[in-house]
Structure 1
């Protein structure tokens, strides 16, 4: 057991992320999914195209298929037939003729060019062309122009998006092998918590963290097991952890991992499993806990709502993607000119909520959302990025360049 809890100071975000990668094991079970039901799943095998797309040379616009060498004069060409999408011209196009063709129609054997219909004029003797290209091949999409048969289109670990389903369908793929969804048990702790729709008594608040965490897990296509809200009772918390460990690959709690007298979750984790690390040098999100709980891994998120969201997105989500076998998306970080002063004390890496904009002159700017207290959940709703301030930063002046991390798919 790594006892970072008793070590002087806090561990850095980067060290915490490295420890998570070291202690996380990807799931191995796979299932076959129908293409129409595969959105959001992670590919268990690479996908190699079984066909060329398109499967034949075809016209990229409406017009006439011709032999370019036969357009040397303005002599009209008789129309030998038609080639429409799904209704190709059969046989070889006769010499000295053209074929009426529509977008997507197969190029007739013998033709090498398509002349768009705007450059064609009907005459009693056939079609007379007013313009034509210098080289053959104009307005033709060759077979395999989009995808070559045998090409690797997606690698293992790719998360299937909506446009990917269209691409797989275009290749004739009807089922895909994917990793099964990650099972994640979620519960909040706290005597003060009530559920939306219930009346609040003095001193009570609504349980917002569990709903936000479940929403982000849904975006990750996880199978969420909602264990509700558990009161600050050591036995009830132990029972909830035992139930969660029995049902899930991952257990995520909110609250109860700080140093308060009623923060029992970490004590229960010490009894039932082990704590790998606790307390991260970030703001918000310092009281984040990671450990093992029997057959599952455990993420203890802080109780303050912004802290819970930031620590989930910065620490839990990357680890979950590893467990899901998902190829990790790159962090979208850019430099921007700060439009508002920012207060900060050196010591912890801060993720201040910001609004990023591009000016009329193309300059990338960022402004704070206002108050940065970890209880101001509204700041996450209006923000579209984090202003990332390193540990040694002591504040930002207007006009300073700052690192901006754009919200990923979990928060956008």
Structure 2
């Protein structure tokens, strides 16, 4: 007697599914303190507060001459050069009626109120440091960077929840932060099931396929700062699948698989998750990527969340970018979870839209419009390499050339 068919899960929108995922998953409680140089891509667990003004004193943004604007009565005025002020000199005092030779980053001598760039000055020989002819009108304050104009002491320059890029690390260093408190990396277990899967380098027997999803998903996880627990390919048996889930739940915060969980499939992953925890099967109203499984695998120390992605490579890629990425960022306590989208011009026609919300593989052309990859099948992984973004097309919406559409850069979806 055959097993009763499972009831088909109701279709839900992408926004509904994402909200359910984010409502269920809470940020990890643990953090660690690391050298600032080691924090690229990490999420701040505490504000970075400046202990100093930046710049710490008035300084010049140009090589030139520091002086008082009132001493330059007219263009062509000549002033004796009384001193030379390189960067690093502290406490120089301006002498009325003179100029000081000064170099970018040097502190402004006390009493001077302007800098004239060297291109507008003519050095003249003479005793000592000679003199200088000022060949431009001078306004008080010109080319001076004021103390604290960039950062004021006591201000938070980076907020908890920010993901640290190169500019953020530079800013942290600017305010003297040698170490940063960051969220612990999420540990994510990844494995595949299916006797048809083989690894590149192994013989490809009839009926076998190379396990591309393992490479794609592992790389996407690493790009988001995860510690990947790669459990490889699990034998297609119920006992082996349950054992892999138990190991994953003991070692990870989140378990990711691809394939084998859509309604009605005869495989061991769905019953294994149900035996080891809880599982919901969702139908998401998007194309590609309709089936999604979400649940939890129990363990003695609390267990791990489980997300089962579709098996087709593009479906797996898209659902990870749209649904798994925000979950991983939430685990790290990030405050910005949604990718930024941009309205751009479509340079193609899409006359037969799907009834589901579509994510089409596109790329930006030199004319500032979007080109469409000709084959939008969920099995065509070449489209994800060719593309530099996804076009977020509402359900049932045809596209005409010249129409403005929403573009999601892959750079926003993969990091």
Distance in 2 (CA, whole Å) between partners of 1:355 and 1:225 is 33
The aligned residue for residue 86 of structure 1 is 88
Distance in 2 (CA, whole Å) between partners of 1:261 and 1:124 is 93
CA contact (8 A) 2:340 2:412 kept: no
Q: Structure 1 residue aligned with 2:364, among 356, 360, 371? A: 356
Matched, 1:171 2:167: no
CA RMSD of the aligned region, Å? 2.0
The aligned residue for residue 29 of structure 2 is 28
Judge which range, 268-277 or 24-33, deviates more. Answer: 268-277
Judge which range, 155-164 or 69-78, deviates more. Answer: 69-78
Output one character per residue of 1:76-107: Cα deviation in whole Å (capped at 9) or x when no partner: 3222221111234x442222222110111111
Deviation at 1:329, TM superposition (A): 4.5
CA contact (8 A) 1:71 1:132 kept: no
The aligned residue for residue 370 of structure 2 is 366
CA 1:27–1:127 in structure 2 vs 1: closer, same or farther (change >3 Å)? Answer: same
Q: Secondary structure at the match of 1:300?
A: strand
Deviation at 1:367, TM superposition (A): 2.3
Q: Secondary structure at the match of 1:244?
A: helix
CA 1:397–1:135 in structure 2 vs 1: closer, same or farther (change >3 Å)? Answer: closer
The aligned residue for residue 142 of structure 2 is 138
Output one character per residue of 1:290-331: Cα deviation in whole Å (capped at 9) or x when no partner: 111121101101111001100101111111111110122443
Distance in 2 (CA, whole Å) between partners of 1:8 and 1:256 is 16
CA 1:103–1:173 in structure 2 vs 1: closer, same or farther (change >3 Å)? Answer: same
Distance in 2 (CA, whole Å) between partners of 1:232 and 1:410 is 32
Deviation at 1:169, TM superposition (A): 0.8
Output one character per residue of 1:200-246: Cα deviation in whole Å (capped at 9) or x when no partner: 11111111111111111111111111111113211111111110000
The aligned residue for residue 383 of structure 1 is 387
The aligned residue for residue 111 of structure 2 is 110
Judge which range, 76-85 or 154-163, deviates more. Answer: 76-85
How do residues 33-52 of structure 1 correspond to structure 2 at under 5 angstroms?
33-52=34-53
How do residues 147-166 of structure 1 correspond to structure 2 at under 5 angstroms?
147-166=151-170
Distance in 1 (CA, whole Å) between partners of 2:285 and 2:158 is 37
The aligned residue for residue 11 of structure 1 is 12
CA contact (8 A) 1:276 1:292 kept: no
Q: Secondary structure at the match of 1:279?
A: strand
Distance in 2 (CA, whole Å) between partners of 1:107 and 1:320 is 49
Output one character per residue of 1:147-204: Cα deviation in whole Å (capped at 9) or x when no partner: 1112221111001111111111111111111111111111111111111222211111
CA contact (8 A) 2:9 2:282 kept: no
The aligned residue for residue 285 of structure 1 is 289
The aligned residue for residue 181 of structure 1 is 185
Q: Secondary structure at the match of 1:76?
A: strand
The aligned residue for residue 297 of structure 1 is 305
Judge which range, 254-263 or 230-239, deviates more. Answer: 254-263
The aligned residue for residue 66 of structure 2 is 65
Gaps of 5+ in 2: 1-5
Distance in 2 (CA, whole Å) between partners of 1:347 and 1:193 is 32
Deviation at 1:128, TM superposition (A): 3.0
Normalised to the residue count of structure 1, the TM-score between the two structures is 0.92
Distance in 2 (CA, whole Å) between partners of 1:299 and 1:115 is 63
The aligned residue for residue 308 of structure 1 is 316
Matched, 1:407 2:410: yes
Q: Structure 2 residue aligned with 1:198, among 178, 199, 202? A: 202
Judge which range, 210-219 or 132-141, deviates more. Answer: 132-141
Q: Secondary structure at the match of 2:79?
A: coil
The aligned residue for residue 336 of structure 2 is 328
The aligned residue for residue 224 of structure 2 is 220
Distance in 2 (CA, whole Å) between partners of 1:13 and 1:366 is 23
Distance in 1 (CA, whole Å) between partners of 2:404 and 2:147 is 49
Deviation at 1:9, TM superposition (A): 3.8
Gaps of 5+ in 1: none
Number of residue equivalences: 402
CA contact (8 A) 2:85 2:92 kept: no
